[in-house]
Amino acid sequence: MSLTDLFPGFRTLDIDTPEGNIFARIGGSGPPLLLLHGYPETHAMWHAVAPTFAAHFTVVAADLRGYGRSFVAPSAADHRTYAKRAMAADMVVAMQQLGFDRFAVMGHDRGARVSYRLALDHPDAITRLVLLDILTTADVWATLDRRNALRMYHWMFLAQTSPLPEQLLAADPRDYLEGRFRRGTTTLPAWLDPRVLADYAAAFDQPARRRATCDDYRAGATIDVEHDLADQATGRTIIAPTQLLWGTRGNLVDIADPLALWRPWCQAISGREISGREISGRAIDCGHFIPEEAPAELLAASLPFLQGQSQRQPKTWASKSR
């Protein structure tokens, strides 16, 4: 079996944007749902849930810029070419190219950071927002302590000035990649499909893409925080109904109440009163890589939420596919 066999009935597309091509697999019918992957992964991370989602939605599983088979942007001194604002803009254009002006989005890890930036920067485009195992980038840095800094050491390592992390990763990129999944053990987890790992490795073996992922983290230590803090200062919040799901052994294990940290980002001021937007969520019994570790549980938690969106049929993507 090939990677294509894990996405039955899906087509592959290179979608033109002003910045470069966005690679995606597209399948299903109904309201559009965009799936955005995390680090060090590609769209293939959604293989265990995408076919079921496709029974209810038109599913677009895309590679972020710099990852997988999507275009690699150049580096920039201020890291804006890998800011989540730029990555979010890619996805708005790509979805518009497919005929979707409004869509739901589910993101994991780095893709979840792009997803909440989508909701903040393009509120009219997002119908529902599902975030997997993250806090906002500003809140990650604000809550960082010794214990979770050791667990999330790669945030600091990959954000170092070029070419230090790139040179160290080049020594044995496959071992580093696999280490992100082994999480301190000597064997790869049973839930990690070898075909999917091979897709991750094919991208991570490319020096330009390793550099791009480092730039992603450099942006996460600089310009992404600036954008979050600017939103806080001006009171801009997420309008779309939002669901947060996290792993009991994931990145939020030391956060007593993750929803409490997200509520200020999902509030609206009406007159002089602050009213909470719809936000919900819970923990799932797994680690960080929820869509691969606990696909059935993720589907059970997220499908009812996503199906609360408008069932008005959008324009078909097939007519604009390229």
Q: What is the distance in angstroms between the CA of the first residue and the CA of the last residue of the chain?
A: 26
109 is catalytic: yes
288 is catalytic: yes
DSSP assignment of 148-185? HHHHTHHHHHHTSSTTHHHHHHHH-HHHHHHHHHHTTS
User: Residue 230 contacts by C-beta under 8 Å, 6 or more apart in sequence?
Assistant: none
Side chain identity at residue 200, one-letter code:
Y
Query: What φ, ψ does residue 101 adopt, rounded to 5°?
Result: -85, -25
CA dist list (Å): 313 to 149, 214, 289: 45, 39, 31
Catalytic hit among 37, 47, 227, 288: 288
Cα 130 to Cα 71, 109, 115, 150, 212, distances in angstroms: 25, 11, 8, 27, 25
- Could you give the CA distance from residue 240 to residue 220 in angstroms, rounded to a whole number? 23
Instruction: Determine the Cα–Cα distance for residues 243 and 302; give it in Å rounded to an integer.
Output: 8
Determine which one of 109, 133, 139, 231 is catalytic.
Answer: 109
Is the bond leading into 40 cis (omega within 30 degrees of zero)?
A: yes
Return the SS3 of 245: strand
Report the alpha-carbon distance of residue 315 to residue 117 in Å, rounded.
25
* Residues known to be catalytic: 109, 288
